[in-house]
Structure 1
Amino acid sequence: MLFLRALFQKLNYMSRSSTIQRNFVPILLIKPFKSLLRFVKYSTLSAPSCNSVLNYHIKNGKLDEARAIFDKIITPDVYLCTRMLSGYLENRRFDEALELFDEIPVKDIVTWNLMMKGCFDCGEVEMGLTLFDAMPERNVISWTTSMSGLLKVGLVEEAERLFLGMPVRDVAAWNAIIYGYFANGRVDDAMKLFNMMPSRNVISWTSMISGLDQHGRTDEALLMFAKMVGFGIVPSSSTFSSVITACANMLDLYLGVQVHGYILKLGCLFDAYVSASLVTFYANCKKMDDSLKVFNEKLHMNVAVWTSLLTGYGMNSMYEEALNVVVSMYRNGVLPNQSSFTSALNCCSEMEDVDQGKEMHGAAVKLGLNTDAFVGNSLAVLYSKCGNLKDGIVIFKEISDKNIVSWNTIIVGCAQHGCGKWALTFFGQMVRARVCPDDITFTGLLSACSHSGMLQKGRYFFDYLRQHKTMEVKLEHYACMLDVLCRCGELEEAENLIRNMPMRPNLSMWLSLLNGCRKDCNLDLAERVAKDVFSLDPDCSSAYVLLSNMYAYAGRWEDVARTRVQMKKRRTIKQPGCSWVTQKGVRHIFVSGDKSHPLSSKIYQKLEWLGEKLKEYGYVPDRRLALHDVEDEQKESILSYHSERLAICFALIDSEERSAITVMKNLRVCEDCHSAIKVIAIIANREIILRDSTRFHHFRDGLCSCRDCW
């Protein structure tokens, strides 16, 4: 080392001295000596030193810095090469990993196995199989890795051939193919192979319990656990987590409590995933107090446990408590993940609270999760459900890796808002993106055709479904097609469809046809359909109300009285109509003629002012829709006090000028209120969004997005 330094100094001195000396010692000769010194410097580092520096950079994701150090080592050993290779593969830098693998002069079996696994993990199946074939020697890990890679992409038959061709099979290989069978829906094959296993470990039993439960065979999963305990095998934390999940799915409180006791006995309670499973189990069984007790037994820093509590509150309709969990997570330094935000946003959707949803959206943006498919889907549902379809579309477009749920969410959202052409546009984009539509997609498309009055498109999609052998036509599709025909006035075709279906129509389908009779006041068909409704449910209040309203609209007051007498005899109670507005996180509910609201006097003053303005704009109430045999003046009063009008008046008082008003209603909006709200939108210079029991109506400039087809 000292000799080399002295030589370098001498050469450097000679290069700076005279022209004659520089002729004898070209400056280019200095660079090789510098490289030589660098090599000597790093080659004198001990292997542990190089390893620790590499590990530090790789662990912190600084792969370029790690590679710079790696390149300075002239002859790195196999371990260092494998570690650098592992860093590339862990960070999905596959091309660089493959390049490094080709450069490694001597590869041991660990290096080959690592690179092969990386190929399968990155979806490079052919490359992985090529490496497997090229391996100079293979061990059981090589065979298992290749087999697992094939199972991961659904190549079950090829994986089976590898399994049968293995010279030696250890328990890990058996476990891998059983897991793969379950992942590919081959439950019976997994059961058969499990029974053939020469020896089993706790992972084998846990795979069976989890796999059976995930495929709806929960009772068999719990029997498998009983056998496992009977054989004297001590369950692991993963086993307990799977068993508790099975108990939650079965809603078997008694067995779950017994397993909980067993967990306490073995000291596995404080495992994060066991705690999360127990929290979910008690929440599923509607025991939120017990769920909270399990959660409070230890201060958990694992996000899965917090998310289980959050989701549990949501499942039990305790939405405020669920959102408070998110606040507590931040206070305790636990950052929410995709599942946390999905559950929280679902709670906001159920509450129809777009303001809190926006806060969650902001938090997701800060954590970089807003483009995640699960979070993005929940955001799109939230905005669409709360009347803001445009924001829902913006969110949808931001999702980085759209899945089938993403496309279905936006198509169904467009359908609910009556934007049929948008739904068809997104469907076209979905097809071009090579995402295969499923039954939910076609339900959304048929619903879009229904709400937009697109009869021919609806027929096309329905015929395509019936002719497509790989797609099953379900009851929901028939219900949507029936709705298309009813809304487009094709009542005869609708009756033929419902009476000639291959499956038995349900109550809601008959009610849909009965409601379709209302538009043309087709009482003959309505009375026939009502008999079918009452054969399924003699106490169906909706059928009585629809029939009574049609009689009233036609002025057949004796039939109205007779229908109401029948309702009283059967003690059938009409569902009261109500509307609500959510302002600053508070829901304000109104019923027809309601005067209980604190701002009631101001609301009725605004209502009277609107009444005068409506007359100035030429609005004439349709007294036939009052549905009561009273004087015309009383009929007008009844119509003007409908719950949606009260809700709109409240929103006009309690919201900023020119801001959009969103009103929700539990029943279908009546034709008279629909006509009145068109004019109110002009008077107030506002967009009024009304969601009734069937769809969204966007009132703007005297028009409605439904084009009077609802």
Structure 2
Amino acid sequence: MLKFTSQITTHLKCRTTPFTTLIQNPKSSSTSLNFTFLNHLKNQKLDSARAVFNKIPSPHVSLYTKLLLAYAHNNNLHEAINLFNQIPSNTKDTISWNSVIKASIICNDFVTAVKLFDEMPQRNSISWTTIIHGFLSTGRVNEAERFFNAMPYVDKDVATWNAMVNGYCNNGRVNDALRLFCQMPSRDVISWTSIIVGLDRNGKSYQALFFFKNMVGFSGVGISSTTLVCGLSAAAKILDFYAGIQIHCCMFKFGFCCGLDEFVSASLVTFYASCKRMGDACKVFGETVCKNVVVWTALLTGCGLNDKHVEALEVFSEMMRFNVVPNESSFTSALNSCVGLEDLEKGRVIHAAGIKMGLENAVYTGNSLVVMYSKCGFIGDALCVFKGICEKNVVSWNSVIVGCAQHGCGTWALVLFKEMLREGVESDEITLTGLLSACSRSGMLQKARCFFGYFARKRSMKLTVEHYACMVDVLGRCGEVEEAEALATSMPVEANSMVWLVLLSACRVHSSLDVAERAAKRIFEMEPDCSAAYVLLSNLYASSRRWLEVARIRMKMKHNGIVKQPGSSWITLKGMRHEFLSADRSHPLTEEIYEKLVWLGVKLRELGYIPDQQFALHDVEIEQNEEMLSYHSERLAIAFGLLSTVEGSTITIMKNLRVCGDCHTAITLMAKIVNREIVVRDSSRFHHFKNGICSCGDYW
């Protein structure tokens, strides 16, 4: 009993005199300070952590390294190095040296990193790998290569080799990665996965799949779920369904349960969707137990890839209903489906959801919004979104430049390009395509020549057939048909049918029959059944009243079974697409539509409008020609839009072919009559009709 009482008294003394105990036990005090210090670091309270650190008697070197790395992550390299210099020289170990080198790399100060590396009294493999990886992560492959070659062979462990292989792949030097991979004395699962991923991401998916099969069959290295997913990605890109099925079987064999592993499930959904097997993709999705945002986004993107845009937007709505927070990829895929449906209303709803989640100004979402608004006819909204993007990349600039080009805003496109150069963003092949298109649709021939010459001299870029086609288009539209033909025949690569078709189209506009016949001959040599070439040549003969030639071409088309693509126009309202053909009478509101067109016809004649017979292109009586022109598909779509939308609102029409000159004149006057903006997107560009004028300035 006495012994028990003594134990209680001792226990109470300990509980009631903690401060005394701590003073008497400095080790316990130091442990408490260490705990508080680490807790402050964990909660990113750097000043509080430093205050506690200063109270720790003889802090261990590991605490120094933790604090200096925290300074580096806060971009305060000066304090990190000062702290490193305060470490007692007898306790500075290789880990602390490696940490301060890593801190310099985190702060992107490679001069200091190399200086510290050179001053190290002793290096290990981690020291070398740290600085090599630092150079590779910032794209400085040559410097990384120099350090790798200088590294003692005995210190080159598998992690160092992996870092170099991965670095080469990430910087597009796949052949160097392959060479190094073959030289590796030993390989682990990371080595194989790095080379498979690198090949796949650099457009060598066939080789990636070959290496994957070698790894599984002959390497003797244990496989991971990441490796299987990488192999499946390669199979998806080259549409190798059989290989993908085998990998799916491997996932079961190696115990990676698809229903439980969300990463594996997402890759399977993507694979089946890429192979046009949406039923299988939906089955995998349904079998997934816990569906995260990656799995949902894989299904959403897969629907878009298979032109199931309505279903894609339903998937996006379901995500929101199940409180799965969409990421940037989700928004990008959903907006791409809005573009596919040309549904501006749904695009605005998704835009609003992006604003609520704070993703409006994120680069990928912002880029997709720019494209969506541009392609749906609202270039002003596209520009507003573009201005709000926080960190614009080359895709951002290309999207807005191409958008301006499509809408005929050539001056805006050029101003944006100058701003792009001032921001130091490197232009690419798509930039040139956008600039040439902007010049083409605005008649800026000299500017186009300057851009074409400037990019041709850039060593980092190679002109493609598409660029030459754009330049031929610029010359042709500006009436320089002979020069355009000369460029097409003198290209360093053989001109394809697209180049000659662009030239033929220009000949149609400028009535250059001789060049047109030569261009058509070239097209028919490459594509004997090209319906567009037959139609353009036929229309050119018809506008010249050479009806025998027109009849000959039509007979040839009939004999060869070539069918002219019918002109159609459509308008999307409340998620429903209403499509019209010329003289179409299949719509439920046909009577009202034709009554509206008759009313518009009367108003047009009051403004002095006279139908232009050359655009009828049929050898029939004038009265019949006028009737044919009055009921072109775009006019039917506009009449329906006037009947079905709020007065004063903008009407947006899409057309699969180039709008004819007579309809262009008529729509210009219609916009004035109804006091509305009418936007028409044809195969060439967007036309914004308002107040009796068109944005193209009658140049298209």
TM over 0.5: same fold?
yes
Give the Cα–Cα distance (whole angstroms) in 2 for the partners of residues 428 and 436 of structure 1. 12
Give the Cα–Cα distance (whole angstroms) in 2 for the partners of residues 610 and 92 of structure 1. 67
1:259 aligns with 2:247: yes
C-alpha change, 1:74 and 1:601, in structure 2 (3 Å) is farther
* TM alignment of 1:688-699, pairs within 5 A: 688-699=678-689
Of 323-332 and 472-481, the range deviating more from structure 2: 323-332
| Counterpart secondary structure, 2:571 | strand
2:262 and 2:288 in contact (8 A); partners too = no
Give the Cα–Cα distance (whole angstroms) in 2 for the partners of residues 94 and 288 of structure 1. 52
2:339 and 2:375 in contact (8 A); partners too = yes
Residue of structure 1 in register with 2:417 after alignment: 427
C-alpha change, 1:380 and 1:59, in structure 2 (3 Å) is farther
1:157 aligns with 2:142: yes
Give the Cα–Cα distance (whole angstroms) in 2 for the partners of residues 41 and 508 of structure 1. 89
C-alpha change, 1:688 and 1:77, in structure 2 (3 Å) is same
1:42 and 1:73 in contact (8 A); partners too = no
| Counterpart secondary structure, 2:416 | helix
**Displacement, 1:640?**
0.9
| Counterpart secondary structure, 1:628 | coil
2:388 to 398, 409, 426: 398
2:269 and 2:282 in contact (8 A); partners too = yes
2:101 and 2:116 in contact (8 A); partners too = yes
Give the Cα–Cα distance (whole angstroms) in 2 for the partners of residues 94 and 331 of structure 1. 46
**Displacement, 1:449?**
0.7
Residue of structure 1 in register with 2:7 after alignment: none
2:169 to 158, 179, 182: 182
Residue of structure 1 in register with 2:4 after alignment: none
1:42 and 1:72 in contact (8 A); partners too = no
**Displacement, 1:102?**
5.5
2:446 to 450, 456, 464: 456
The residue type paired with residue 320 of structure 1 is V
State the Cα deviation string for residues 135-192 of structure 1 (Å, max 9, x = none).
Answer: 3443221110101111222332322232233341211111111111212222222222
State the Cα deviation string for residues 407-465 of structure 1 (Å, max 9, x = none).
Answer: 11111111111111111101111111122221211111111110000111112222223
**Displacement, 1:659?**
1.4
1:376 and 1:396 in contact (8 A); partners too = yes
C-alpha change, 1:549 and 1:206, in structure 2 (3 Å) is same
Residue of structure 2 in register with 1:575 after alignment: 565
**Displacement, 1:610?**
0.7
| Counterpart secondary structure, 2:223 | coil
C-alpha change, 1:553 and 1:173, in structure 2 (3 Å) is same
Residue of structure 1 in register with 2:499 after alignment: 509
Give the Cα–Cα distance (whole angstroms) in 2 for the partners of residues 115 and 146 of structure 1. 11
C-alpha change, 1:619 and 1:65, in structure 2 (3 Å) is farther
Residue of structure 1 in register with 2:364 after alignment: 374
The residue type paired with residue 361 of structure 2 is T
| Counterpart secondary structure, 1:509 | helix
Task: Please list every run of 5 or more consecutive structure 2 residues that lacks an aligned counterpart in the other structure.
Answer: 1-18
* TM alignment of 1:300-319, pairs within 5 A: 300-319=290-309
1:287 aligns with 2:277: yes
**Displacement, 1:709?**
1.3
After superposition, the CA RMSD in angstroms is 2.5
C-alpha change, 1:58 and 1:667, in structure 2 (3 Å) is farther
Residue of structure 2 in register with 1:224 after alignment: 211
| Counterpart secondary structure, 2:670 | helix
**Displacement, 1:683?**
0.7
C-alpha change, 1:602 and 1:119, in structure 2 (3 Å) is farther
| Counterpart secondary structure, 1:630 | coil
C-alpha change, 1:653 and 1:67, in structure 2 (3 Å) is farther
Residue of structure 2 in register with 1:247 after alignment: 235
TM-score normalized with structure 1 length: 0.90
1:534 and 1:540 in contact (8 A); partners too = yes
Give the Cα–Cα distance (whole angstroms) in 2 for the partners of residues 200 and 631 of structure 1. 81
The residue type paired with residue 377 of structure 1 is N
Residue of structure 2 in register with 1:198 after alignment: 185
Give the Cα–Cα distance (whole angstroms) in 2 for the partners of residues 122 and 582 of structure 1. 52
Residue of structure 2 in register with 1:8 after alignment: none
| Counterpart secondary structure, 1:212 | helix
Identity of aligned residues (%): 54
The residue type paired with residue 435 of structure 1 is V
Task: Please list every run of 5 or more consecutive structure 1 residues that lacks an aligned counterpart in the other structure.
Answer: 1-35
Of 106-115 and 696-705, the range deviating more from structure 2: 106-115
| Counterpart secondary structure, 1:697 | strand
1:363 aligns with 2:353: yes
State the Cα deviation string for residues 595-634 of structure 1 (Å, max 9, x = none).
Answer: 2222222211111111111111111111221112222222
* TM alignment of 1:506-585, pairs within 5 A: 506-585=496-575
1:233 to 221, 233, 248: 221
The residue type paired with residue 140 of structure 2 is L
Give the Cα–Cα distance (whole angstroms) in 2 for the partners of residues 583 and 384 of structure 1. 18
The residue type paired with residue 684 of structure 2 is T
Residue of structure 1 in register with 2:582 after alignment: 592
2:265 and 2:288 in contact (8 A); partners too = no
Residue of structure 1 in register with 2:14 after alignment: none
Give the Cα–Cα distance (whole angstroms) in 2 for the partners of residues 51 and 307 of structure 1. 44
The residue type paired with residue 145 of structure 2 is E
**Displacement, 1:97?**
5.0
1:648 and 1:663 in contact (8 A); partners too = yes
Of 659-668 and 530-539, the range deviating more from structure 2: 530-539
Residue of structure 1 in register with 2:111 after alignment: 126
| Counterpart secondary structure, 1:559 | helix
Of 47-56 and 149-158, the range deviating more from structure 2: 47-56
The residue type paired with residue 504 of structure 2 is L
Of 672-681 and 276-285, the range deviating more from structure 2: 276-285
1:43 and 1:73 in contact (8 A); partners too = no
Give the Cα–Cα distance (whole angstroms) in 2 for the partners of residues 296 and 61 of structure 1. 41
Residue of structure 1 in register with 2:315 after alignment: 325
Give the Cα–Cα distance (whole angstroms) in 2 for the partners of residues 51 and 506 of structure 1. 72
State the Cα deviation string for residues 200-247 of structure 1 (Å, max 9, x = none).
Answer: 211111112212222233232222222222232221111111111111
Residue of structure 2 in register with 1:19 after alignment: none
Residue of structure 2 in register with 1:9 after alignment: none
Residue of structure 2 in register with 1:214 after alignment: 201
C-alpha change, 1:102 and 1:578, in structure 2 (3 Å) is farther
Residue of structure 2 in register with 1:12 after alignment: none
The residue type paired with residue 268 of structure 2 is L
2:30 and 2:57 in contact (8 A); partners too = no
Aligned length: 674
Q: Hey, which bits of structure 1, 4+ residues long, moved more than 6 A?
A: 39-45
Give the Cα–Cα distance (whole angstroms) in 1 for the partners of residues 581 and 49 of structure 2. 69
**Displacement, 1:122?**
4.0
1:579 and 1:589 in contact (8 A); partners too = yes
Residue of structure 1 in register with 2:632 after alignment: 642
1:496 aligns with 2:486: yes
Give the Cα–Cα distance (whole angstroms) in 1 for the partners of residues 273 and 134 of structure 2. 37
The residue type paired with residue 564 of structure 1 is R
State the Cα deviation string for residues 55-80 of structure 1 (Å, max 9, x = none).
Answer: 55555555566556556656654444
TM-score normalized with structure 2 length: 0.91
2:695 to 683, 705, 710: 705
State the Cα deviation string for residues 472-519 of structure 1 (Å, max 9, x = none).
Answer: 221111101110111111111111111222221111221111111122
Give the Cα–Cα distance (whole angstroms) in 2 for the partners of residues 606 and 104 of structure 1. 87
The residue type paired with residue 591 of structure 2 is S
State the Cα deviation string for residues 107-142 of structure 1 (Å, max 9, x = none).
Answer: 544343334324324433223223323434432211
Residue of structure 1 in register with 2:600 after alignment: 610
Residue of structure 1 in register with 2:611 after alignment: 621
Residue of structure 2 in register with 1:29 after alignment: none
Give the Cα–Cα distance (whole angstroms) in 1 for the partners of residues 146 and 347 of structure 2. 51
**Displacement, 1:572?**
0.7
1:418 and 1:451 in contact (8 A); partners too = yes
**Displacement, 1:706?**
1.0
1:418 aligns with 2:408: yes
Of 316-325 and 185-194, the range deviating more from structure 2: 185-194
